[in-house]
Amino acid sequence: MLSTLQISLIVSLFCGQLLQKAPEPRTSPPDPAIEQEEQDYTPVVIQQDSLIETIESPVAEPMGLAVYEGQLWISDMATRKIHEFRLVDRKLVRSIDAPGLMPTGLTVHKGMLIIADRQMDKLHRRRISDDSITGAETLPYYEKWAWGMVSDGKSLWIVDAQDRKIHQIDPDDGTTIRSFAAPGTHPTAIAWDGAFLWVAEHATNTIYRMDPETGWVVSSLPSPGPYPSAMVFFDGTLWIADYQSRRFYRVKLPEKLRVIEDDERRVRATYQVVYRAGGTGKVRKLTSFLAVPRELAGQRIITPVRFDPQPTRMVRDRWGQEIAVFELGDLAPGETRTVRWIGDFSLFRVRYQIDPAHLEPLRTDRELSQYLADDKKYNLKHQALTDWMKDLSRAPAHPYRTARLIYEKLVDSIVYERTGGWNNAAAVLARKSGSCSEYTFALVALLRRAGIPARYVGAISERGDAASFDDVFHRWAEMWMPGYGWIPVDANAGTGPDPAVRGQHFGGRSNRHVVTTIGGGASEYLDWTYNHNTRYELEGQATLDEQPIGRYRPLKAKPTSRNILLVEKTADPGPAQAPVCPAVVPQLKPVPDHTRTNSLLWGALFGGLFLLVLGIYIAIRMQNRSR
């Protein structure tokens, strides 16, 4: 018979084996190699050769990048160290302790390594030499949560992650020279290319090019990884450290790129108008004009538009807009007529890559000159437009800068309000409010007044859900930029303080619209409307009700749910024909369930204790019986 001590020893050894087999919870900084097995990402690419290389991050949490004499310097929040990374053999060659516990931004200014810490109100300076890193100088920092940091050779630029601002800092005494809003809601890294600031934003995984003089977002690109945390320009390429994938991406910025189209949505769209006669008498010669969608940048037609019923004829107006004409005849009281088109579309988010420093000269030929002409909704000679343009006339003549100043001022001057019908530009500027069409009339008029060709487009829009209907619709302006063609400019959608939103709608369009109408002014068929127009005669006390409505239904997505299309830079005003360059979507691998691991650990522990107590109890009972 086994003694109580022997039974307890056996049970204890069994419990020890269980505990050895149960994985330990991780408490040390994560190892990049292990994490890559947990979750892997394939980077998003813009052009076939834009992603030069991808390397595994040599540190666990890269938060800052800098370059000094051909080597990368990296701040690692996990180990609280600053590392020198030798690019020749991809090795860490030396490290120093970070001054604080949360090292973030890192840059080199006049031979000094500048280190920021999210929780400290000072910047730290270290002098770099071949064999040592010396000094312990500090520089006061008067703002909040320093994250990204870069030097332009004269000033420091710091991303304030708490207040979502970009601060220009005097590198000698830490004075904040000026500040402007950072793009998006979660700005992280910042880099300098010699002319523009590039700011990474994690919420949308977007990298924005910003004008340091104005704070405008000029263009944007998708980040190759899911969480850009540090950036630096070196040797003509942009190095991007990604916190989540723990990789470094070396990117060549796209050249001769006119527009990026990505974030594809495939929809079946319908536009329908229902007419119903009322009152007494008849509605005579009812004619309906439906604008027909066409292919253009960001809008591809999957199946040709179908009509119900078949139109009486097809025509084009003075602006080249194709229109289906339905001659519906006479309607007696209570009678209805319905016309509609239906089509399948592939819609993309559009982002024009305008480079203000390299615009071609603005020339207007006979075709473009019609987009400078006056019309009753523009009233170009009105004193209100003259007064409004006074301040802008002092700015240097430059198509992009002039158009952007007009756009920014209009966004700040007008609030959205659907009232008073569709007034002309002068009335809208005086009233300081307007609908989307009135925003558009004002913007087109001001651009034309400044000598920039402008027109408008109209669309049916998705209203929040993939399957939705639209009975409000939307209109915005387009302007002609030399070398790029017609650029969308939507002052109504660009309202608000976020420079990312403003930049998105100056040279960009979402994938929530099917464009039906393009015009420069009054049309012989559509007049000043878009989507459709109606003409008829009333006899006696007859009335006519009409209800236009657009409908969206999502179509099955292609196997690759996100593409990036490229259109080479061109001055051709026609629809852009773009080769498709598929971008890759993160391919997720199963992530180990640490909660389950911990449950197994505690289960083994309590199970072992239970068996120990049970063994002692049984041994005692057996000994008592033997007596």
Q: What is the mean pLDDT of each run of 10 residues along the chain (627 residues)?
A: 45 43 38 48 68 93 95 96 93 92 95 93 88 81 95 97 96 96 97 96 95 96 94 95 96 84 94 97 97 96 96 97 98 97 96 88 85 95 91 73 94 86 90 92 95 97 91 96 94 93 95 97 97 97 97 81 44 36 32 43 59 64 59
CA 475 to chain CA mean position, Å: 21
Tokens 């420069």, residue located: 520
- Distance between CA 276 and CA 290 in Å, rounded? 17
**CA geometry: angle at 185 spanning 566 and 108, to 5°?**
80
Tokens standing for 599?
């449950």
Angle of helix 436-449 relative to helix 399-413, nearest 10 degrees, comes to 140
pTM for the whole structure: 0.82
If you write DSSP's letter for every residue of 317-339 in order, what string do you get?
-TT--EEEEEEEEEE-TT-EEEE
| Residue type for position 357 | A
Q: How many CA atoms lie less than 13 Å away from 80 in the CB half-sphere?
A: 10
| Residue type for position 201 | E
Scored b (16 or more CB within 10 A) or e, 34-71 reads: ebbeebebebbbbbeebbeebeebbbbbbbbbbbeeeb
Contact 167, 150 (CB under 8 A): no
**Phi, psi (deg, nearest 5) at residue 394:** -80, -15
Category of 145 on φ-ψ map: left (φ > 0), alpha (ψ -120 to 50) or beta = left
Q: Looking at residue 466, what is its pLDDT?
A: 86
